[in-house]
Amino acid sequence: MRLVVRLATSQDAETAIALDRAAARDAHRRDWLRQAFAGRHGRVARLVFADDAPAGFAVVGEFFGHPFLELILTAAGFQRRGVASALMAKIEQDHLDQRLFVSTNESNTVMRGMLTARGYEPAGQVDHLDPGDPELFFVRRPTSS
Ligand SMILES: CC(C)(COP(=O)(O)OP(=O)(O)OC[C@H]1O[C@@H](n2cnc3c(N)ncnc32)[C@H](O)[C@@H]1OP(=O)(O)O)[C@@H](O)C(=O)NCCC(=O)NCCS
């Protein structure tokens, strides 16, 4: 399977929405994705294609002046085939000399496993966003810091 990651634009928003089951039932999420893909608040969206088929996307925003991976998603049918890893590798490459932050729910063992495998370190947690399921923060630091 050939994976190609590219920067996305507002014209790609509906493609991302079609990949995202949560967006199908959540108007707020659809609106957020449209704004993110339009680059609102400096966000940068990327799409990944698997043999030319849209397979996932990621949105990087800002967190206290640092890049922050706000959302990464692999579409159903493409999971566990390296799609998210391809996105992560591209994002990490674009922020090699920065501290790159990301967060996920404690219950998201898949995401946590991927972050740990990629060398991310715990950076704290925020409670009471999703009651009973803390938001765990991770950071990938440049090797020099
Ligand atoms: C988390 C997510 C993006 C991973 O995407 P993916 O394309 O399946 O991930 P990859 O195939 O690149 O796998 C990367 C690593 O993640 C971990 N992983 C992926 N799927 C896994 C699974 N089912 N069980 C355990 N670990 C898993 C592994 O460490 C894997 O590396 P490995 O295959 O070398 O062991 C995907 O599961 C997803 O879209 N989840 C829903 C959205 C979400 O939770 N996003 C994160 C919060 S923003």
Q: How far is CA 53 from CA 43, 49, 90, in A?
A: 23, 5, 18
Of 29, 78, 79, the residue with max ligand 1 atoms within 8 A of its CB, to mutate for a pocket test, comes to 79
Domains and CATH numbers, the chain: 3-140 (3.40.630.30)
Query: Per-residue pLDDT tens for 79-115?
Result: 999 999 999 999 999 999 999 999 999 999 999 999 9
Best residue among 57, 110, 137 to mutate for probing ligand 1's pocket (most ligand atoms within 8 Å of CB) is: 110
Q: Is the CB of 38 under 6 A from ligand 1?
A: no
β-partners of residue 57 are 47, 73
On the 0-12 / 13-18 / 19+ scale of CB atoms within 10 A, 37 is: buried
Q: 143: pLDDT confidence band, cut at 50, 70 and 90?
A: confident
- What is the mean predicted confidence (pLDDT) over 37-58? 97
pLDDT value at residue 120: 98
CB 137 within 8 A of CB 101: yes
List 100's β-bridge partners, or say none.
140
How much of the chain, in percent, has pLDDT values that exceed 70? Answer: 99
